[in-house]
Amino acid sequence: MNRFLALISCLTIFFAGAAHASSEQFSDADKTLSPYFFIEDQDDGVENFPLKNTDVDVVISGVIANVRVKQRYANMSSAPISGRYIFPGSTRAAVHGMTMTIGERVIRAKIKEKKEAKKIYETAKKAGKSASLLVQQRPNVFSMDVANIMPGDTVDIELRFTELLIPEEGIYEFVYPTVVGPRYSTLTAGTSPPGEQWVKNPYLKKGSESRTAFNISVSLAAGMALQEVNCLTHETKVDFQDDSRALITLSNPADFGGNRDYILRYRLAGRQIASGLLLQRGEKENFFLLMAQPPQRVKPEMIPPREYIFVVDVSGSMSGFPLATAKGLLRDLIGDLKPTDSFNVLLFAGGAHVMAEKSVPAVPAEIRRAFNMIDNSRGGGGTELLKVMKRAMALPYNEGTSRTLVVVTDGYINAEHEVFESIQKHLGSSNVFTFGIGSSVNRYLVEGLAKAGQGTPFVVTTPAEAGPAARKFRDYISSPVLTDLALSFQGLDTYDIEPLAIPDLFAERPVVVFGKFKGEPKGTIALTGKGGGGDFHTVFDVSEEPFDESISGLDYLWARSRIGRISDFNPRHANPGNRDEIASLGLRYNLLTAFTSFVAVDEIIRNPDGGSRDVKQPLPLPKGVSNLAVGGGMNQVPEPELATMALLIFGLLLVGQLRKRKPASIPLRRK
């Protein structure tokens, strides 16, 4: 026993030393890019929450939303700081303007190539000048750096972007994301490129009081009579100014609403949509936007047999409300299958659990088996989506059926492009439909998966939306609204048409085409296709659509559409040709892109020694997301806990070895 206690003491000393050595050997650079919880030191005397409030003003004219976002930063401490704030945006937004205001001085930001903008910002920061830098980390994730915020300073950063609103089934939707959810990553801080470092960001624990305010107002001028206007996510007041105009404001801005997407929906009278042709004359280029309403869906009497592979995220970030909502959604989806259909279920976090080695018929016994598997799942672990998608696409395929992959996730992963590329390479005859679950889903991933898989994305923000979303999914996959779509021009000199080809329409949404034209607007544009009711054909007379001087932003929207096609969901976006084209488009049209950034510098030197403390603005967890969404590997465990864990493990192993010793090794007395 004395030897055993001595051994335990030695192990304690050894592993405590090993843990200490580990902390010296493995620096912060060796840790993963996992987000972490912010722990405030009340005595450090430094401003840790420089972002004081975000005010959003939205003006919707017809189908175009022009948005102004004002972020106010302030330093209430006694030392200079430089702050960084990670925030989301719409995947469709064309960010085309930024200003920085300090006191009475207004500095208009310039668009520069990304590396040049970074160099300008760092030089100004070292020189003691106030500066700001806006960088696109993802098409829907941005970072704002503000340098040399002096004690007592208030710095206002104003962003401007334009977005096209595309109705679906007669419903228009404007979404303003407010918070970036914590991303799961296996990359290390030391080996990952600079463009991935934003993932390592502090978060407030669930239930913590937010230190920043959020307010949003929407001025809606639909151009046609409004039937209904409502906000699904925030309590709002709707003041109708006439039958086609309304002002939507938060009922109580003091109630923090910056932890979930702001979703506003409205419908025009008679379920109409603002289809037609918009023209914009520019100094050097003329632009057009065509929105053509497709026919209503015709449901076929017989739906051919289909195979469904349900890929369900049960990682830590899905714990609680998202996972409970996902379970309800899956019960609706699977319970509505026909006996002639087949299906399979894969649950994934760090690994994957497959219900069956190949798809099974959708008979009551197999459906109950799937329900039991789903009901017994618990949220926990990381989000290894790439691995499970490869496994799902490699499952044995049933000949003669159409396979549909249904991915259910909040999208809190960092390796989006790798997943898009895998889907495009291995998709075959399958389609991918996605369900984003949660109050602040990663829409870039949810939309990108569907785009790469030639399917349709859905976002479910509340449990009540699960049932309608499941029914809508069944309608979509029954048959496309339009196939074999083609566009032709007569008498109009067009060029640079976006998109290059029009994909099949699964949803009842308009066909949207951007382009440029030379000379006077004349001739016709014809759209043809095939629908459930037969051939589809519609013609637009260009000469009947005069220029409207109030229309603006088509140039931004055209450029954003082209950038999106060659960059957002394209895994090969980083090749030199694409990189140069994206940067050129950003510089030419004054747009934020993956390779262009906005930078503003106040030329007054206000901090001569250039010293300031770098502060990352802590983010709130998205509403409904648990603390399990934030965390990392063993290299993030504090030293005392690591030593204790190691001691416990080896102690148990040692005890196990002692118990395994055979009794025969002990001498026995003979009578």
Residues 438, 464 within the same domain? yes
Residue 27's pLDDT band (boundaries 50, 70, 90)? Answer: low
Residues 289, 341 within the same domain? no
Q: What is the pLDDT of residue 12?
A: 46
Residue where a domain terminates, one of 424, 448, 478: 478
Asked if the structure places residue 136 within a domain, the reply is no
Residues 487, 457 within the same domain? no
Asked if the structure places residue 441 within a domain, the reply is yes
Condensed to tens digits (0 to 9), the pLDDT of residues 253-276 reads: 999 999 999 999 999 998 788 788
Residues 379, 495 within the same domain? no
Q: Tell me what the mean pLDDT of segment 552-564 comes to.
A: 93
Residues 347, 409 within the same domain? yes
Tell me which residue of 503, 505, 461, 455 sits closest to 480, measured CA to CA: 505
Residues 643, 500 within the same domain? no
Asked if the structure places residue 557 within a domain, the reply is yes
Rounded distance, CA 348 to CA 334, Å? 18
For residue 44, pLDDT over 80 is answered with no
Residues 324, 462 within the same domain? yes
Q: What is the pLDDT of residue 276?
A: 87
For residue 458, pLDDT over 80 is answered with yes
Residue where a domain terminates, one of 504, 537, 566: 566
Q: Which one of 40-54, 209-223, 533-547 scores highest in mean pLDDT?
A: 209-223
Q: Tell me what the mean pLDDT of segment 310-339 comes to.
A: 86
Asked if the structure places residue 263 within a domain, the reply is no
Q: What is the CATH number of the domain that holds 285?
A: 2.60.40
Q: Tell me what the mean pLDDT of segment 220-228 comes to.
A: 93
Q: What is the pLDDT of residue 671?
A: 33
Rounded distance, CA 327 to CA 315, Å? 13
Q: What is the CATH number of the domain that holds 394?
A: 3.40.50.410
Largest CA distance in the chain: 118
Rounded distance, CA 620 to CA 179, Å? 7
Condensed to tens digits (0 to 9), the pLDDT of residues 589-618 reads: 999 999 999 999 999 999 998 889 999 999
Total tally of structural domains belonging to the chain: 3
Residues 418, 346 within the same domain? yes
Residues 643, 505 within the same domain? no
- Using CA atoms, how far residue 33 sits from 10, 377, 413, in Å, is 34, 27, 11
Q: In this structure, what token pair is assigned to residue 52? A: 């004081």
- Using CA atoms, how far residue 143 sits from 136, 199, 316, 389, in Å, is 7, 11, 25, 29
Asked if the structure places residue 418 within a domain, the reply is yes
Residue where a domain terminates, one of 518, 544, 566: 566
Q: In this structure, what token pair is assigned to residue 14? A: 């050894």
- Amino acid letter at 241? Q
Rounded distance, CA 509 to CA 481, Å? 9
Residues 374, 386 within the same domain? yes
Residues 339, 460 within the same domain? yes
Rounded distance, CA 663 to CA 105, Å? 87
Domain with 406 in it: 306-478
In 179-309, which ranges are continuous DSSP H helix? none
Residues 339, 469 within the same domain? yes
- Using CA atoms, how far residue 283 sits from 286, 495, 507, 521, 555, in Å, is 8, 17, 37, 15, 11
Rounded distance, CA 475 to CA 188, Å? 43
Query: With contact defined as beta carbons under 8 Å apart, do 260 and 623 qualify?
Result: yes
Asked if the structure places residue 449 within a domain, the reply is yes
List Cβ neighbours of 459 (8 Å cut-off, separation of 6 or more). 435, 436, 441, 443, 446
Asked if the structure places residue 358 within a domain, the reply is yes
Q: Tell me what the mean pLDDT of segment 92-98 comes to.
A: 96
pTM beyond cutoff 0.85: no
Classify 320 in phi/psi space as left (phi over 0), alpha (psi -120 to 50) or beta. left
Sign of torsion over alpha carbons 453, 456, 457, 463: negative
Rounded distance, CA 448 to CA 431, Å? 13
Rounded distance, CA 290 to CA 489, Å? 12
For residue 651, pLDDT over 70 is answered with no
Asked if the structure places residue 359 within a domain, the reply is yes
Give the DSSP letter string of 577-599.
HHHHHHHHHHHHHT--BTTEEEE
Q: What is the pLDDT of residue 653?
A: 47
